[in-house]
Amino acid sequence: MKLAITGKGGVGKTTTCALLATAFAKSGHRVLAVDADPNATLASCLAFPDPERITPINEMTDLIEERTGVKPGSSGAVFKLNPRVDDLPDRFAVEHNGIRLLRMGAIKNGGAGCYCPENAFLKNLVTHLFLARRDVLIMDMEAGVEHLGRGTVRAVDWLVVVVEPSRQSTETAKRIELLAHDIGLTRIGVIGNKCRDAAERAFIQAAVAPLPLLGVLPYDDALREAEMAGRPPQATRPEVEREISAIIQQLTATLGQALPA
């Protein structure tokens, strides 16, 4: 299963991604976490040692040239649209606490869509990476909607939009929904985060409808404290654990089913 976590800046995408990755790994899935945010923080959030030393794939210029036939940065050159990517996780992913992680790195925006070898390479990583039955690829996206234009997430099974109880974040979710439909994505779910009470939960539910609300995580000081202390976020509160398991159940229930037309 391939998931991408998206949403407005600061709503808790990386935290949610780390909580899900950890829970998937605990329940026996092989997890490949992909940090697709140029301002990469997932490795640090998951407490990988020396996160800055994890080389982003898009900086591996020799590798990209070898696979696409074109040096990154060259414009107008004809490159292979389907470069080989299957060996990348084994060769380049860094592992910590049972989670493998790849950093994608920043892609310069090449206008509507982006036809550069780096983007072709990254898109292919998501599209053609073969996953075994219990493998999960979970991508932490950059904030906002821009990445949807590049099509990196076109091949995910689920686009998960994280929102907090704020109009701005739910409006961003609706914008993401429209753009996701434009690129043919139909499985879109919402996770509410930083919710303090039933009223905030109800606000989110009403604001994102008819998108399915996969779960709601409470505002939890333990998550902020873990972030400040450099510890991975943990479902220390029973309701966090319960919501994360329910979310995972809903996501995995679709495994093996045909995508809706």
Ligand X SMILES: Nc1ncnc2c1ncn2[C@@H]1O[C@H](COP(=O)(O)OP(=O)(O)OP(=O)(O)O)[C@@H](O)[C@H]1O
Q: Which residue ranges make up the site for Mg ion (CB under 5 A)?
A: 13-14
Residue 35 partner contact from ligand X, Mg ion, none using kind-dependent CB cut-offs of 5 to 8 Å? none
Q: In the complex, what is the shortest distance from the CB of residue 224 to ligand X, in angstroms, rounded to a whole number?
A: 4
Instruction: Identify whether the C-beta of residue 72 lies closer than 8 Å to the C-beta of residue 117.
Output: yes
Q: Which is nearer to ligand X, 117 or 243 (CB)?
A: 243
Q: Are 153 and 147 in contact (CB under 8 A)?
A: yes
Distance (Å, rounded) from C-alpha 221 to C-alpha 48? 22
Report the residue number, 11 or 136, with the smaller CB distance to ligand X.
11
Instruction: Print the binding letters for residues 123-162 with ligand X: x by CB under 6 A, - otherwise.
Output: --------------------x-------------------
We find the least distance from the C-beta atom of residue 38 to ligand X, in angstroms, to be: 10
What does 12 interact with, of ligand X, Mg ion, none (CB < 5 to 8 A by kind)?
ligand X
- Determine which residue in the list 58, 220, 243, 244 makes contact with ligand X, applying CB under 6 A: 220
Which one of residues 29, 100, 147, 194 is an interface residue with ligand X (CB under 6 A)?
A: 194
- Three-state SS across the chain? CEEEEEECCCCCHHHHHHHHHHHHHHCCCEEEEEECCCCCCHHHHCCCCCHHHCCCHHHCHHHHHHHHCCCCCCCCCCCCCCCCCCCHHHHHCEEECCEEEEECCCCCCCCCCCCCHHHHHHHHHHHHCCCCCCEEEEEECCCCCHHHHHCCCCCCCEEEEEECCCHHHHHHHHHHHHHHHHCCCCCEEEEEEEECCHHHHHHHHHHHCCCCEEEEEECCHHHHHHHHHCCCCCCCCHHHHHHHHHHHHHHHHCCCCCCCC
Residue 227 or 241: the one with the smaller Cβ distance to ligand X is: 227
Nearer residue to ligand X within complex by CB, 135 or 227: 227
Q: Which does 56 bind (CB under 5 to 8 A by kind): Mg ion, ligand X, none?
A: none
Interface with ligand X by CB under 6 A: which range of 13-21, 67-75, 118-126, 243-251? 13-21
Identify what 58 binds: Mg ion, ligand X, none; CB under 5 to 8 Å per kind: none
Query: Within positions 75 to 104, which residues make up the interface with ligand X, using CB under 6 A?
Result: none
Asked if 217 is part of the footprint of ligand X (rule: CB under 6 A), the reply reads: yes
User: What residue ranges bind ligand X (CB under 6 A)?
Assistant: 9-15, 37, 41, 143, 193-194, 217, 219-220, 223-224, 227
